[in-house]
Structure 1
């Protein structure tokens, strides 16, 4: 009985407290979808084009080498019945070595391309963060959140961030 009275008294006291000054005024909150910024901004598109130009020739060489290796494998399969055991062994070793070399080159290509992608992405993210901070300060936001699970379109400022990034030279 005394515990219920104490709980009721505490609830009544809490209900009587005035709202804090923060909740009494409207909070200005914004949301930025970083994935959209990285996908849609001109800076990100330019970075992607730069990477394609930088790695396009190497990627084509890898595809050509893979096609050549496949053709050699098919030729070996077709000619296998006519080859001596020594010749079969030699050509199998060549195919295996060529495949190993191709796999090594692919790994190196992927590592190099990923490293450069990360470098270019970092530039985009840093510039986007500066723009977000600028919008935060100029428009007097209380909070800007990036990459929320769900956010209302009413507070989504992603388009403004993309437009501001696109306006920069």
Structure 2
């Protein structure tokens, strides 16, 4: 039986040492918010925080994670979806299909922690996640709205599904 620290608690699991963290999270621990996208760390759907650093869990062998390292998944970001980034994602209707968005939220959260007022270049550098639906403008708007402390983004209006504009 192996042990890792996930979302504030130690968790036990059984897996081969080369098993990617993604599969331990999803299959062993039932944390299915972290998604499988490409399996080669290119798309970012599997992004989690490992000691606060956005990490592509699909290529990280679980055996390389030390007992003192702390993993946070989308489920651990906030128990009720009240994290400012999650609220901005909802307020600005960022997701289209939504598949990549958990990884996007995790990457954006790490960016805002490291750089509370990121420039466009900072956002471009940090948000290497791929969105097949192309919601990049809404992702940028949500990140900027959190940085500005509001759900409005200067210079970009987003029309919500209910017809209202942010």
- Please give the TM-score of this superposition, normalised by the length of structure 1: 0.24
Q: Which is richer in strand?
A: 2
- Please give the TM-score of this superposition, normalised by the length of structure 2: 0.24
Q: Which is richer in helix?
A: 1
Higher relative contact order (CA 8 A, sep 6+): 1
| Rg (Cα) greater in structure | 1
